[in-house]
């Protein structure tokens, strides 16, 4: 998941989100039209707000991109000294601790922007990697409940993993089923199906996993997805 989201983020321009402002304007449109002078004033305010939100998200985007770049630095093998020419970390814990603080700072500083939501997602992921499941759950739930559906889907996948870590498999099953029923660009149906089937295997429910793999083969015949499902079925038979 981490490598996938990094790749997506490098391609993402982090466009500013102003859905709430637009909704406000639509809801109050009739009242504004009734008072022409007020319309001019409100439009001016909205225009300034739009520009401010865009500017804030651009700032957040730049800081987030730098944080992700640093997060991507490699972990040095044990005993290998650090070199200034090649940035690196002495351990994965060091990397995750530094990254978590930076992602949290960005998420807090640029609240209500799309980049802040992605920063909060990474804060949750790194908190889980550090073993801080309560903080991870809080951060990921916040993103899962946000209006950014693609980022929210990533957060739900990570949240399901936290539920599994904390022995709440039924809650994880519910999340995967939601993602299967409502796929997004970031988390497709097949990805959620594979995750759910894998969870069923860990829950010693091979028949449930088998049913999902067979369904994937039926829905996507002749594709890489079907091939993966077939390999999973073969492994279940062994």
DSSP assignment letter at 232? H
Number of structural domains the chain divides into: 1
Is 64 a domain residue? yes
The rounded distance, in Å, linking the Cα atoms of 193 and 209 is 9
Residue 39 is predicted with a pLDDT of 42
Is 41 a domain residue? yes
Regions in the chain scoring below 50 on pLDDT: 1-47
Query: Is 122:103 a contact under the CB 8 Å cutoff?
Result: yes
Is 150 a domain residue? yes
Is 219 a domain residue? no
Is 112 a domain residue? yes
Q: List beta partners, residue 75.
A: 89
CA angle 159, 162, 166 (to 5 degrees): 145
Map residue 89 onto helix, strand or coil.
Answer: strand
The whole model's pTM is what?
Answer: 0.77
CA torsion sign for 152, 156, 157, 161 is positive
φ/ψ of 83, rounded to 5, equals -130, 135
Is 68 a domain residue? yes
Residue 50 is predicted with a pLDDT of 61
Is 120 a domain residue? yes
Structural domain of residue 35, as residue ranges? 2-187
Is 199 a domain residue? no
For 180-231, how does the pLDDT look when each residue is reduced to its tens digit (9 = 90+)? 999 999 999 999 999 999 999 999 999 999 999 999 999 999 999 999 999 9
């Amino acid at each position: 998941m981490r490598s996938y989201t990094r790749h997506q983020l490098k391609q993402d321009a982090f466009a500013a989100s102003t859905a709430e402002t637009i909704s406000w304007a639509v809801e109050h449109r009739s009242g504004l039209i009734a008072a022409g002078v007020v319309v001019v004033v409100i439009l001016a305010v909205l225009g300034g707000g739009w520009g401010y939100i865009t500017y804030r998200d651009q700032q957040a985007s730049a800081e987030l991109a730098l944080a992700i770049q640093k997060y991507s630095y490699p972990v040095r093998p044990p005993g290998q000294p650090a070199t200034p020419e090649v940035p690196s970390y002495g351990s994965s814990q060091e990397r995750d601790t530094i990254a978590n603080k930076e992602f949290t700072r960005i998420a807090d500083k640029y609240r209500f922007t799309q980049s802040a939501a992605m920063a909060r997602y990474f804060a949750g992921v790194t908190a889980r990697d550090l073993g801080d499941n309560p903080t991870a759950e809080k951060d990921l739930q916040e993103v899962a409940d946000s209006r950014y559906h693609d980022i929210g889907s990533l957060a739900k996948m990570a949240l399901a993993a936290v539920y599994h870590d904390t022995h709440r498999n039924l809650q994880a099953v519910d999340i995967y089923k939601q993602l299967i029923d409502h796929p997004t660009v970031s988390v497709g149906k097949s990805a959620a199906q594979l995750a759910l089937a894998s969870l069923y295997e860990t829950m010693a429910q091979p028949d449930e996993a088998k049913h999902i793999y067979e369904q994937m083969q039926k829905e996507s015949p002749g594709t890489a997805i079907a091939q993966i499902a077939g390999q999973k079925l073969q492994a279940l038979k062994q």
